[in-house]
Amino acid sequence: MLFLVLTITFLVGFGGIWIYTKFNEFNTESENLKKDYIEEQKDILVSKSNECIDFINYQNTRSESRLKNRLQNFVDQAHSIAIYIYNQNKGKLSDVEIKKRIKEAISPLRFTNDRGYIFINNLSGKGILYPLSKENENKSLINFKDINGNYIVKNEVELIKYKDSGFTKYVNSKEVKNKYNAYTKISYIKKFAPYNWYFGSFAYLDDLQPEIQKETLIRISQINMNQDNYFFVYKKDGTCLLHADSASIGKNFKDYSNKIRRENVKRLINAAKLDKSVFVNYKLPNTEDSEKISYVKFIKEWDWIIGAGVNTSELDKNIEIARNELRGNVRKYILQIVLLIVIAIVIIYITSKTISVKMKQNFTSINNFFRKASTQLYKVDIDELHFSEFQDMGTTINRMIDIRTQKENELQIAREKAEESDRLKSSFLANMSHEIRTPMNAIIGFSELLQEDDLPFETRQQFFIHIRNSGNSLLNLINDIIDFSKIESGKLKISKTYYCLNQLFDELYHTFEKIKTSKSRDHIELKFTKGLEDSESVIYTDPLRLKQIITNLVENALKFTEKGSIHVSYQLNESKLIFTVEDTGIGISSEKQKIIFSRFRQADDSHARRYGGTGLGLSISKKLSELLNGDMWVESTEDVGSSFFVSIPYIVDDKSSSSPIKKMSRNGVNKDLTGKKILIVDDYNVNITLIKQMLQSTGVSMSSADNGLTAIKKCGSSHFDLVLLDLQMPELNGYDTLKLIKKDNPEIKIVAQTAYALANEKEQIMDSGFDGYIAKPIIKKNLLSLINEMI
């Protein structure tokens, strides 16, 4: 009842006040309607005119950036053409012929209505190409000045020393237009490194003005105006640029046949010149009482007068129409309010009773939820709720309970995974520390013992063997970590070639016979069985990665086999080669077989494990098998042994004349190099000493340099058959040193030596122009083989 009484009182009071207010407003608006309407039309004219001005200002502000973009695209296009010609002909044609082809391709290019072109200078300021000014070619332009006394070429050369590309801008401060009738000049230049050139082109900011003005006229013509109004644009001299009457465009107002129209346009132009922006009232031609109000604005930068107007004769008609509409609306609103009050009283009385009952039930259900939700997973019964809003609220509440339950379960699972991950990480780090410190302990310990003077020769030799074996173990560990990093980042590349599988088995057999002896496993039988004849065993694969997979499996077999035998074999099964490494070792339980191919996981990853290792070998081998489009799996029984299987596609060499990869003859390693000269370039003196000791027995003459600049000087003053060049050096790195040495001595063989072992390192080095590559740590045998190939 309270709700009903308040509602009726509000409607009656509001309706009475509204009716009284509307009558007062009607009287006031009737008096001010004409004045307001005129002001409204003026505001519209000003607003629409400001849209035009804003667009003009916008066009002016972006003209410079638009010109720069066009210049840059033009020069980049020419630069790309030159790079393409250079890359296509490098090493095939002489530099003179390549330069000639580049100039012939660039000369016809034009920009900004054939006024712009591509010019080429070298970094000394000498003109290389000037299609429209041939007199500037082969001539020093370093002291060339423009109309304002600016050093053009000198400034460009200074800019290109510090940047590969850039813009220059020159403003004519004298405001005297040059031969192109322009004030501001903008240039863009870009360095062409192969010949120490730079490409460039220039244009004048005024070149874009006609284009921008044309776009502006189109934009102004598209601005909507009320009724039959329109925008008009005249030049300062009276030439019409835009008008609703298309016949007027391009004519001067002085040529209009109607005298009144000529006078009107003259008044508009003169008013705009004096006041920049102003309203002008004038009579329309061919009418008696019609008047027009126009708003005009003067754009000094372009000498334009922009304007638009409204006919006042239309105002009286509109005012009368508005007055009649207002009077009718007041009557209609009074009747609507009275009818609304009556209907509201009836509806509110009927519905308020029903709503209050159902609302009470809804609140009761929601309150029950909040009382129980803190201690139990209580849900709201949707069937007890009567309104869609409360039903949606109940659905949301029940969904919240479901999500809460789900999140609690997910949190428990995530907690268990986090604990497992933390345990694996701790185990891996502890294991990695052990695997690194163990060989380091031997290296450091035996190195200290070698300093003792009274050691027998045999003992000293044994210590050297221990140090070398420990170093190799440490290097294998680092290689495993790098391979794993490459695989995880997706950067490990597979380099397939034709290779003899039987030759690979022979190499592995001889290698592991020696390893077996070094690991005191001579009592274990090691057998390699070939499944194909030599002529059928030439396959297309990555021999390095295949060898890495089999090596990992055989090393694991040797590690976990105390007695018995290890059998390595392969056989052809339809279109696949199946490799098998079978041992009689400790075996693997069925539970552990599920995790041994996971990273950082081993069959025994506790601190008390007996056999060591990082847990990366099988994970890497599994990934490498998949990169070779194959697979890896295991079959094993505890205390009986294990069999690891690897499958790869069998792709046969189609060329019957293909032969296996040739082995390096041992005599080639010890080739006499007397009379040959080698330059060793490395900023670390210990590396220079090491390489000299390795090459001492060859009879080669050696010289050294500790940085790139010194190496360049030595190559300039003396002849060398080979340069061993370190990549990472102070002052000048190996890549830049290579370019400068090859520039004056292209016949010198240069081999890169680097400690980097990241993805694509070798490809990057060879693509840079090096003749060879050797990775640190440097092995004497590999170094001698590489030198014999080079010289």
Over residues 436-479, the pLDDT tens digits come to 776 777 788 778 778 887 888 888 887 787 787 677 767 766 77
Residues of 48-77 as b/e, b for ≥16 C-beta within 10 angstroms?
bbeebeeebeebbeebeeebbebbbebbee
Which range is least confidently modeled, 134-138, 501-505, 596-600, 766-770?
596-600
306: burial class by Cβ within 10 Å (0-12, 13-18, 19+)? buried
Give the mean pLDDT of 341-360: 79
Token output for 101: 């082809």
State the alpha helices, DSSP H only, in 561-664: 617-627
Cβ atoms of 119 and 130 within 8 Å: the answer is yes
C-alpha of 90 from chain center: 30
Task: Give the DSSP H/E element, type plus range, for residue 370.
Answer: helix 313-372
Beta strands in 222-377 (DSSP E): 231-235, 240-242, 277-283, 291-299, 304-311
Which range is least confidently modeled, 171-185, 566-580, 617-631, 771-785?
171-185
Three-state SS at 759 = coil
pLDDT at position 600:
57
Token output for 241: 């640029």
d(CA 332, CA 574): 93
pLDDT class of 757 with cuts at 50, 70, 90: low
* DSSP structure string for 238-257: SBEEE-SSGGGTTSBGGG-S
Give the mean pLDDT of 29-52: 75
Q: Indicate left, alpha or beta for 492 from its phi (over 0: left) and psi (-120 to 50: alpha).
A: beta
pLDDT at position 633:
94
Beta bridge mates, 571: 578
Residues 6+ positions from 404 with CB-CB distance below 8 Å = 377
557 vs 13: which has the higher pLDDT: 557
Neighbours of 19 (CB within 10 A): 14
Give the mean pLDDT of 715-719: 91
Cβ atoms of 156 and 180 within 8 Å: the answer is no
pLDDT class of 666 with cuts at 50, 70, 90: very low
285 vs 67: which has the higher pLDDT: 67
Percent of the chain with pLDDT over 90: 26
Expressed in angstroms, the distance from the first to the final Cα of the chain is: 112
pLDDT at position 678:
95
**CA angle centred on 383, ends 382 and 388, rounded to 5°:** 65
Three-state SS at 578 = strand
Q: Can you give the pTM of this predicted structure?
A: 0.39
CA dist list (Å): 552 to 469, 507, 512, 547, 612: 17, 15, 11, 9, 14
d(CA 750, CA 721): 9
Pairing of strands 304-311, 749-754: unpaired
